Amino acid sequence: MKTMLYEGKAKQMFTTDNENELLVYFKDDATAFNGEKKGTIQSKGVINNKIATFFFNLLAENGIPHHLIRRVSDREMLVKKLNILKVEVVVRNIAAGSLAKRIGWEEGTKMPSAIVELYYKNDELGDPLVNNYHIKAMGLATEEQVCQMEQYALKINDVLTAYLKTKKLALIDFKLEFGLYNGEVILGDEISPDTCRFWDTETGEKLDKDRFRRDLGNVEEAYKEILKRLTGEAI
């Protein structure tokens, strides 16, 4: 009998018969602005589960270790149980969202090189921006672990950017979470329109959760479009 260990904004996590494995259930719930805005995106859980599975498999082919074992149903995936590091890693290629506001760059400005940012994973504090000194002082991760996360993040950026370009998609920015498995840093959480900004390279159309954040409409259609471009599957 499975027991729920945790329920987050977009997923639920359950125990399994194997103490080293968890079952992740993807919900249709949508939130923005640290939970201040809430709603539902029809079929989001199904779509994100399939997109995340696709991206994890793509990254594995390129030497990135991750927690996915296999997708077991439309809304569920079996994963390795990680000791999550409370540091979120954000990679930015083009100014958008909070970065554009924070440094005063016009949204859509291309970075000369990718920017890596680190955030303290804490909902009550609104996931504040931190640096290596904060992380060391707070004991969130070792210097070696932070270095490994940053290296993986930049490699993931290279792999995804190159692949998405073939699908006429620009990877604007994205968030990653990592954890420890047998003492090694590996990728966890998900990669989906919930955690990434995708823009159509020809029209600039936003095809991610910004459509929900900014009340742009056609949110479900945007998620479906990403899935279709990646896998050819229509829902």
Q: Does the pLDDT of residue 34 top 80, yes or no?
A: no
Q: What is the pLDDT of residues 1-25, one digit of tens each?
A: 679 998 989 999 999 999 999 999 9
Return the pLDDT at 188: 98
For residues 102 and 120, the answer to whether their CB atoms sit within 8 Å is no
Amino acid (one-letter) located at 73: S
What value does the mean pLDDT take over residues 142-157?
98
Count Cβ atoms below 10 Å from residue 135 Cβ, excluding itself.
20
**Interatomic CA distance for residues 223 and 193, integer angstroms:** 6
Query: In the chain, what are the domains?
Result: 4-80 (3.30.200.20), 83-218 (3.30.470.20)
Looking at residue 32, what is its pLDDT?
85
Q: What is the pTM of this model?
A: 0.95
Tens digit of pLDDT for each residue in 154-209? 999 999 999 999 999 999 999 999 999 999 999 999 999 999 999 999 999 999 99
Q: What is the DSSP string of 53-109?
A: HHHHHHHHHTT--BSEEEE-SSSEEEEE--EEEEEEEEEEEE--HHHHHHHTPPTTP
What contacts 107, CB < 8 A, 6 or more positions away? 95, 96, 97, 100
Residue 133 pLDDT more than 80?
yes
Mean pLDDT of 115-138: 96
Q: What is the pLDDT of residue 235?
A: 83
* Average per-residue pLDDT for the chain: 96
Q: Mean pLDDT across the stretch 61-81?
A: 98
Q: How much of the chain exceeds pLDDT 90, in percent? A: 92
Q: Output the furthest CA–CA distance in the chain (Å, rounded).
A: 52
d(CA 175, CA 157): 11
Note the Cα 119 to chain centre separation in Å.
Answer: 13
pLDDT of residue 1: 60
At 36 the pLDDT is: 78
**What's CA 90's distance to the chain center, in Å?**
9
What mean pLDDT is predicted for residues 92-105? Answer: 94
- pLDDT at res. 33: 80
How many Å is the Cα radius of gyration of the chain?
Answer: 17
- Which pLDDT does position 35 carry in this prediction? 72
Give the Cβ contact number of residue 234 at 10 Å.
8
| Cα gap 39→35, rounded to integer Å | 10
Which residues lie closer than 8 Å to 28 by C-beta, 6 or more apart?
Answer: 40, 41, 42, 43, 44, 45
